[in-house]
A and B are shown apart, each in its own frame.
Chain A
């Protein structure tokens, strides 16, 4: 019997001892990597960022609330009523935009920067490319939400980042661009290149021009609230080296293959039988119709029954036989998402000379740049070069600065008509309250209180960050740059 008990004891002891062995050391994740190249994080940040800009969390709300497109009101194949055109913005859109800027986009770029700068040898270009994209993200976050976390954001040691003033963030955007410009190394083979740089394929010279342009655009956004920025504008204009041809257009193409299509196209296909949900805004169409703009058929699809291009007042009910819808060409499956382009650069430069921002007012130069911008816009949207030239030749040359500035702003806004957030920001910076271009009024059925001017903060951030503003800031309240 004693022998049996010993045997049992031995078995039990062996079994217990086994439990402490390597049998349990299996907690290494076979589905993920502990180290990655910055390229892989950069591609994800890029894709998340452009998907946000072209989809239902940013494009649709801001194009509708910004009135550069029309919802169609109660038209059964319109976007619906009440919608974002009446400033009914889903808290999920507020949250998804925020999380793309900070988590999917911003954090992966921060990680990419850290990996690039800590690798041996240092991958300066990868860090700089990531910084420029991060600057773009920070610019959008601040212009959209106002005061936002920046100096304490993306820091594992800080649980509750403070909210920086919008001005501080925009200064930070400029600093990021300067930092990147100091890091770019055109000779180095180390960079994010090929397919992983969906914008420029690793062409560092173009990245440097873009970085300067982003800095320039940021200054142009700040200059009305901070006139001291005019001198920096003059400096950068005089230095040059910014985006200087359509080759530099900063965009990402979508693909025709299912699952890789532009969300603008996919949403119409998925939910509306391929019919475009959105109508042309009367603010856009009527302006273009009046000048017989050759971009009209590129931007819009005219009903067969209609003999001219008729826009729809934002929020009003669309008529299928009367009002134009956004064209299938503009919302094609492989239509690119444009973040910055050459004509935009020209519009800003025209504005600099028309307003004399740090430089002497030069209306001749401004008119030239203005017409070049429109011509480049026409060509960009598919008008032939000859037709584009003929069109701009027909346009008047403005001798009155105010008229020219108005036209620059309006055409700048028209050019960005289908770039929701960019049109929205351009409109807000086009003049002080009540003098913006165009002179928008409340959309049909929109609540009283004022025009749409910002995203309200994401509920997640408000709930979880004690440093978030305690007072609710409503969508009609202006941010710092928006006078």
Chain B
């Protein structure tokens, strides 16, 4: 009875307080804030939505809110049961902790290099299916380009410029200490005459498998000093992802649902006045716009593609109407909780996406578990397992030399073609044959392609790790992090019999598997040597192995149409390849701190790489960084709150690809022939081998990157103005390159250490809070970056081709210059005037001309965020200035007479601006072109300069509007709902300004594995996305 009374007494004396903690700076919820009942040991933490709920004795009248990097706040409870708190940033930044290389947490003030951290919320506000895209515009010095608008398509990320002339320079992705694969392996499904790594469908990059809903934070390590402990793998930067863990307090269930709708961001501008034909005469055989003026032939009828006699009329939307409204549905549910002995989090996300191209679909399911447990005091274990499966269908084929290339078919639909008629008549119902748009049957009906031929893939991927941490002594920590990441991908591309260009049908199946194994063993000792001096020493050992295998089978001549079984093919060619690389490293880090305002870090790592010659396989690289919080030495000021100088220097080495050293003969699957029709082996019963195209180099040494960086972090006006500025310089020397050599030697390349790439740049991040009044906040963030790349080549090398294109287009490196597009250009007189051919009135051309830098001069992201109570509005404007883009779409629309610009001067006498060479002198041109069809014909694919444009743009990248439902509303409703928010989100909403006609200037046809940029070639149009989001916490 006594017991019951006591319990009753205790119950009667408790009350439950709930509420939400946000940042005073931007109104964003803060997760993990400790909420402590003052005077007791009762405490809880806020969840992902910043929500908390705590039962406290009635005697407690104050709650204290504590979070690193913020000024703690104590609030009197009074009679309130709902308490919302806004925490101010701690201007002294004394406690802010940042995750750095190897998962080492450091106080931000101690870092001698620039680090950018993005909270998980930023990534899921306006969700991207590919997490790489979410970083666009948010981090200074980070540049993201999408390869296409393909659902599940790939994106390329470049940090502080490209530092290599032989590899694409993608940063390493590290999830909870495990380096994971971000490959985008290209398998040649069509002719080898097409640029490597470019042809065919965009199958995505593997970072796209990561579930954004599981991300707690992303740290971008940009400089070599920041990444030095990762060694060679991080020479192009590192993306450090920390996943969410269960937080203490009552277990919660979070549901996050988004529905989004996509349409084409930029629709090409067509003319709608002229029909198909030649020089003004109608001809059904031409899919173009050089026929008669529609309005002038209304008294006549002409055959359409079905053979019907019709009066011509324009269908202005036939291109737009081919594409559909895409849809994306992302649903996540996460269960999480923790107590003082352990934590868990289980998350499941389903993503279903349909693209704007009919029949294109992408589906992904992610499930992740992250759990940790304290075995006993000093010994902790943690395990993570992530499984995802993604499937896709209808990935459009891009580029050329493949009958399935879609975009060119849709672009060249004559203006008089009714897309509805094409949609309903792509196959003959009686014969089953394709109905083509021309009687000569020399092109495919786009609906035949999308309804019959399919390029898709399935990826099964598992990654995870186990971490054991043992702390035998207060100052000593020993941990081991073992992880693996493996995936299996099956790619299937089918072409049905009857497809023009592949009448007998074909298919390919590619099986790819990749495995990463990584182990880091780390010992950390941390102590204070005296009252002023702190010491932290880290020693580690790393083993890393990567294995890749690919089996590709091409089957041709199918007996039964639509049956994609190898036994159904007359010819099957299978090739396989594999490679394995290993890396062993030991590393150390010594950190000294003096009175918490002066810091020095020295790191060293020695790697042994399996890919280098035994004599050169060991290489060492050091780094030194220092930070000086000089504001600690100044008197307290009302306007200047914080100042830090940072300085770092690092030297990083890196190896090469496996099997680059020995002279070997390679088995050949086919003999080359232009336009993609070489002979496959066995040919006439014979197999074949070939000497290598590259003379290997048994004495390769590691290439080396030296970087220094200086910068400052400053805070003014009670932390309402924050400025981080950085200048960096990196020089990557002894580049391991396949140097182009005269082919008369019998070889095309020689593997050498030669050349260097210098990147120097300036980054600035400025955060301003112009308004902070009561519950209203307005914050503006500017992310500015400018990088200047410069290549140095040995004297005997005039230029180096980093990416070959077609018809003379190449991306090349040249001493003293950044990467530039080269190609066929207009011939010019000494004054820069275009030289006109006197015989034709057309421009004269000249091959191999530099036509502009592929990289921008500078990038600027401007993010505005407003918050008022639970209402948040943010929009991000992304600006790129400089660089050029080659557009094949512009070429197609101009040469075909379908672009709106081809209306100019049609039928009129037109004299192009320029000069003609007459009697040895250049005089103003007075020779008219014979027709505008001839004039625009100059802009063909083989003319690069005619299709080069300024790639600058201003884009409204993102708008997010969200509303956090007040707790009191929820309390009046079903009491199991603890928090809820609704939002409207938009991505890629508006190209405010650009200079490229017809297409989004941001498309980069060369994918993540290529060094090339600045080219669009029959790419799937990029999309605008608008969606809705609902987030509920139970």
Contacts and interface: CB of A to CB of B under 8 A. Distances in A.
Given A55-B675, A92-B674, A103-B747, A33 B663 contact: no
A257 B691 contact: no
Nearest to A272: B442
Interface in B648-687: 658-659, 661-668, 670-687
Nearest to A53: B673
A19 B543 CA distance: 8
A188 interface: no
Interface in A146-203: 148-149, 152-156, 158-161, 194-196, 198
Interface of A: 1, 4, 8, 11-12, 15-16, 18-20, 23-36, 39-41, 43-44, 47-48, 51-52, 54-57, 60, 74, 76-77, 88, 90-93, 96, 98-100, 102-104, 106-108, 110-111, 148-149, 152-156, 158-161, 194-196, 198, 252-255, 257-261, 263, 266-267, 269-275, 447-448, 458-461, 463-466, 468
Given A48-B672, A99-B743, A33 B689 contact: yes
Nearest to A47: B671
A167 B112 CA distance: 68
Interface of B: 193, 278, 283, 285-286, 403, 436, 438, 440-442, 472-473, 478, 500-504, 506, 521, 523, 539, 541, 543, 554, 556-557, 570-571, 573, 576-582, 584-586, 608-611, 614, 617, 658-659, 661-668, 670-691, 693, 695, 740-748, 750, 796-799, 806-808, 837, 839, 847-848, 942
A362 to B, nearest CB: 41
Contact of B665 (A33, A77, A152, A253): A33
B609 to A, nearest CB: 7
A27 B661 contact: yes
B685 A55 contact: no
Given A24-B608, A51-B678, A102-B744, A41 B442 contact: no
B683 A8 contact: no
Contact of B478 (A8, A41, A196, A275): A8
Contacts of A275: 440-442
Nearest to A277: B442
A407 to B, nearest CB: 35
Given A271-B442, A275-B440, A465 B742 contact: yes
Choose among B686, B750, B807, B839 the residue with the greatest number of A CB atoms under 10 Å from its CB.
B686
Given A11-B521, A273-B441, 12 more contacts: A27-B611, A31-B666, A33-B667, A34-B663, A40-B665, A96-B672, A102-B745, A107-B747, A198-B684, A267-B677, A275-B442, A464-B797
B278 to A, nearest CB: 6
Given A34-B662, A270-B502, A463-B798, A104 B672 contact: yes
A275 B582 CA distance: 53
Contacts of A104: 671-672, 690
A93 B745 contact: no
Nearest to A39: B686
A259 B571 contact: yes
7 contacts: A32-B667, A76-B438, A76-B442, A108-B690, A267-B675, A458-B743, A460-B740
A13 to B, nearest CB: 10
B746 A107 contact: yes
Contacts of A153: 744-746
Contact of A263 (B472, B678, B797): B678
Nearest to A95: B743
Given A40-B687, A103-B693, A270-B501, A76 B541 contact: no
Contacts of B678: 47, 51, 55, 263
Contacts of B557: 257-258
B557 to A, nearest CB: 4
Given A54-B673, A92-B806, A459-B848, A30 B578 contact: yes
A173 to B, nearest CB: 16
B745 A27 contact: no
The 7 lowest CB-CB distance pairs between A and B, nearest first, are A107-B746, A56-B674, A195-B685, A19-B584, A258-B556, A266-B677, A47-B671
Contacts of B674: 55-57, 60, 92-93, 96, 263
B608 A15 contact: no
A255 B502 contact: no
A202 B332 CA distance: 68
Contacts of B667: 31-33
Contacts of A100: 672
B664 A32 contact: yes
A24 B616 CA distance: 13
A195 B686 contact: yes
Nearest to A58: B674
Nearest to A269: B503
A180 B570 CA distance: 40
Contacts of B741: 159, 464
A104 B692 CA distance: 9
A52 B678 CA distance: 9
A258 B580 contact: no
A26 B662 contact: no
A52 B671 CA distance: 9
A377 B281 CA distance: 43
A336 to B, nearest CB: 10
A201 B214 CA distance: 65
A52 B610 contact: no
A88 to B, nearest CB: 8
Contacts of A23: 582, 584
A269 B745 contact: no
A174 to B, nearest CB: 20
Contacts of B441: 273-275
Nearest to B506: A258
**Best-buried of A60, A152, A160, A464 by chain B (most CB within 10 Å):** A464
Contacts of A156: 695, 745-746
B200 to A, nearest CB: 16
B676 A270 contact: yes
A89 to B, nearest CB: 11
A106 B746 contact: yes
B744 A465 contact: yes
A470 to B, nearest CB: 12
A413 to B, nearest CB: 24
B742 A161 contact: yes
Contact of A32 (B500, B581, B659, B684): B659
Given A267-B675, A458-B743, A77 B690 contact: no
A464 B403 contact: no
Nearest to A49: B671
A56 B675 CA distance: 7
B582 A259 contact: no
Contact of B679 (A148, A195, A259, A267): A259
A77 B436 CA distance: 14
A4 B691 CA distance: 56
B983 to A, nearest CB: 49
A34 B847 contact: no
A272 B796 CA distance: 45
B658 A259 contact: no
A93 B438 CA distance: 30
B542 to A, nearest CB: 9
A419 B425 CA distance: 42
B746 A110 contact: yes
A178 B438 CA distance: 56
A238 B796 CA distance: 52
- Residue from B584, B677, B678, B798 with most neighbouring chain A CB atoms (10 Å): B677
Nearest to B938: A82
A155 B683 contact: no
B541 A77 contact: no
Contacts of B541: 12, 15-16, 19
A51 B675 contact: no
Contacts of A158: 745
Contacts of A271: 442, 501, 675
Contacts of A108: 690-691
Contact of A51 (B506, B578, B673): B673
Contact of B609 (A24, A28, A74, A266): A24
Contacts of B570: 257-258
